[in-house]
Amino acid sequence: MSLLEVRNLTTAFQTARGEITAMEDVSFDLNPGEILGIVGESGSGKSVTALTIMGLLPRPPARIASGSIRFGGQELTTLSEGRMQKLRGPGIAMVFQEPMTSLNPVFTIGDQIVETIRAHENLSNRALTARAIEMLEKVGIPSAATRMSDFPHQLSGGQRQRVMLAIALVCRPKLLIADEPTTALDVTIQAQILDLMMDLRDEFGMAIMIITHNMGVIAETADRVMVMYAGRVVEEAPVMRLFDHPMHPYTRGLLECVPAIGQDKERLVAIPGTLPEPANRPRGCRFAPRCAHAIADCSAGLPPLETLAPQHTAACFRAIELQSA
Amino acid sequence: MVDVVDLSAPRQHPLRATLRRLMHHRLFLLGLFLFGIVAIVAMLAPIIAPLDPNKLAMRNKFRPPSADFVFGTDNFGRSLWSRVVWGAQLSMFIGFSVVVINAVFGTAIGAAAGYFRKLDNALMRVNDALMAFPAVLLAIAVTAVLGPSVNDVIIALGIVYTPRTARIVRSSVIVLREMEYVQAAVAAGAGHWRILRHHILPNAMAPLIVQLSFLFAYAVLTEATLSFLGVGAVPPTPTWGNIMAEGRQYMLDAPWIITIPGAALMITVLGLNLLGDGLRDVLDPRLRIQS
């Protein structure tokens, strides 16, 4: 049985100009120990997906319009805030994009880790400290015991992200959601943090949902990839399959935007145009106005997400046709 | 796998760093000195001013400052030194009590309004209504209802100034509520109480402390105003306002009766304002960058 089952999930926001759906009809599964990558441009709905699963969107203005989220057999969309709070930490944990601002500046990192454990478990002070030091060592902070009394401003960006991971993982979550965990870090540190996340996955056996706009991060870490565009899933496939045989023109466009070493290309191919505003999305396929292969049918109706190859789904009327061309 | 660690960075507790910056702020030190004098005099009142501030001695009336009576005597022959020193104790007590009331209720109301959006409108409209009255006018109205004792004045000043403190706390809380570390704490399973106590209030302390130091000055000044107008603590309670109100009639013949408590009031308020300015300079990171 999968750990997380998301079915036809739609999240809408109440705004002054009416209701806007930030993400609609999103379905996917996540198995224990698996790493799922979610890619898309800013505003494609990937963060909203994560925050909806965490129950972190303020309601109102946010509203789960339809669909279900089952985590370990438990339905999350109807769970009370109190029960949800107990689940955050030991059940699902999250790491955010900005390590510089994700730590409380007035407490030592030791306090912050200890406080997180204390929220969920009743342990003696000595046991709490031991647990926090152990976790800091696991995330690769050198001389963890002395670093416990450091304040966030005394750490580098990479170290802060390690501390964030320690805080997220200290209650042994079954699912870790990482929202752009390496975007704010420089490249060498990025690789270290990604390696660390994969090591910790192997050690704790948790599932990871990694959200990014960086295809390189996906290639390095994910087992499976889900591509989102304008609030909808447009393609989902195992990572190698997606990179070798992208079926959706948008995915192909994303891959062409990535510069590759050793490839003798004069210029990168950019996708023309920009993501449509959520309030006035085009009828039919949302990518059609920017798609080089769009035909009249594309603007007529929404292309359904269809299984076009084993474990490979895409939402494009012309996927098969373009694949063989 | 090891990040570069900057060993040259000073490993100092932030509180100690703040204290050290305060100790290098000259105006803060001057403020601390002035306020410190008044506070110490107030605390030592029973020792340094053993004469009963309310003891009448008609044969000694209107004595100018001399070796016998350091600050002279008033129209009833009471020692002005005793009256001013005991007045300092009252002023400090009233100021401190108002600060405590504000720190407790202002923080509670401000935090509730800023953190729980549903309470915001209701709490802040009541707040606005109270703030719409001029401070002295509202204080007069409240003492008129409650009565003219020191405790009633404290409650009145608490009601007058708490809305201002609540507003300052609320504005900090609204900013802090949206910080990433607050969201990270929610994502780690922290409840409302834990988030307020650990992540929001400690970070909202700096502007609150600055506000409270100014508030102390306002409370002392407004209390003196109320006494002077005759709606504060009833005579012969030796408040500075009362002493000045009585001395006003003899201003030309015995100017020390009104000028000495006036000077004491000025020293207290000036000291507190310098103290508050210093705290603001040191605690507000934006000002620190500019200087």
| Residues A59 and A22: beta-carbon distance below 8 Å | no
pLDDT in tens, B119-177: 999 999 999 999 999 989 999 999 989 988 899 999 999 999 999 999 999 999 999 99
Nearest to A241 by CA among A313, A318, A319, A315: A313
Per-residue HEC secondary structure of B151-164 comes to HHHHHHHHHHHHHH
How many whole angstroms separate alpha carbon B75 and alpha carbon B155?
A: 31
Q: How far is B188 from chain A (nearest CA, A)?
A: 5
pLDDT in tens, A77-126: 888 888 888 888 888 999 888 877 888 888 889 999 998 888 888 888 88
| Residues B231 and B144: beta-carbon distance below 8 Å | yes
| Residues B199 and A103: beta-carbon distance below 8 Å | no
Q: Please enumerate in sequence order all residues whose Cβ is within 8 A of that of B134, keeping only pairs 6 or more positions apart, or say none.
A: none
ipTM over 0.85? The verdict is no
Per-residue HEC secondary structure of A227-291 comes to EEECCEEEEEEEHHHHHHCCCCHHHHHHHHCCCCCCCCCCCCCCCCCCCCCHHHCCCCCCCHHHC
Residue numbers in chain A where pLDDT is lower than 70: 263-266, 325
How many whole angstroms separate alpha carbon B33 and alpha carbon B48?
A: 19
| Residues B231 and B222: beta-carbon distance below 8 Å | no
Question: Does B4 contact A156 at a Cβ distance shorter than 8 Å?
Answer: yes
Residues paired with residue B166 on neighbouring β-strands, in sequence order: none
Q: Which of B3, B186, B187 sits opposite A189 (nearest CB)?
A: B3
Residue numbers in chain B where pLDDT is lower than 70: 1-14, 285-291
Q: How far is A191 from chain B (nearest CA, A)?
A: 10
Q: Provide the Cα torsion B92, B96, B97, B99; round to 10°.
A: 140
Please identify among residues 26-55 of chain A the ones whose CB lies closer than 8 Å to any CB of chain B: 54
How many whole angstroms separate alpha carbon B220 and alpha carbon B201?
A: 27
Neighbours of B176 (CB within 10 A): 22
Q: Provide the Cα torsion B70, B227, B108, B283; round to 10°.
A: -40
Chain B positions touching chain A (beta carbons under 8 Å): 1-6, 9, 11, 14, 179-181, 183-191, 194, 198-199, 202-203
How many whole angstroms separate alpha carbon B17 and alpha carbon A11?
A: 47
Q: Please enumerate in sequence order all residues whose Cβ is within 8 A of that of A244, keeping only pairs 6 or more positions apart, or say none.
A: none
CA distances from B201 to A16, B173, B257 (A): 32, 7, 45
pLDDT given for residue B35 in this prediction: 95
Q: How far is A119 from chain B (nearest CA, A)?
A: 6
| Residues B219 and B98: beta-carbon distance below 8 Å | yes
- Predicted TM-score (pTM) of the model is 0.80
Nearest to A198 by CA among A181, A216, A180, A220: A220
